[in-house]
Amino acid sequence: MQFDIYRDQALERLLIVKRGTSINQLKDLQPSFLNVLERPNQVDSEVGSLPLGLNKKEVIEAIEHHGYFARTLKVSINEVDD
């Protein structure tokens, strides 16, 4: 299966769809989520790799069921005094 992988500049938002899918036609996602995504990278799941930490089976199931796989990442750093 071939994918288009969209990310925002800060790498906090991730959207994966079948190659050639118009993300503007995805009704379940908020425009505020879609508006910050940049031009996609293209990946073939048979030979390429998905972003680190993603389960390929979970991604494919989500795309087949919903038409997309979307994630938001929130990272926080806490300083610890020794």
For tokens 């503007």, the residue is 24
Query: Where residue 67 falls among pLDDT bands split at 50, 70, 90?
Result: very high
Above pLDDT 70, what percent of the chain?
99
Element of type H or E holding 61: helix 56-66
Looking at the predicted structure, is the pLDDT value of residue 45 above 80?
no
Walk me through the domains of the chain, giving residue ranges and CATH numbers: 2-72 (3.10.510)
Q: Which two tokens stand for residue 46?
A: 């048979």
Tell me the pTM: 0.82
With beta carbons less than 8 A apart as the criterion, state whether 60 and 1 touch: yes
If you average pLDDT over every residue of the chain, what do you get? 87
Does residue 50 register a pLDDT over 90?
no
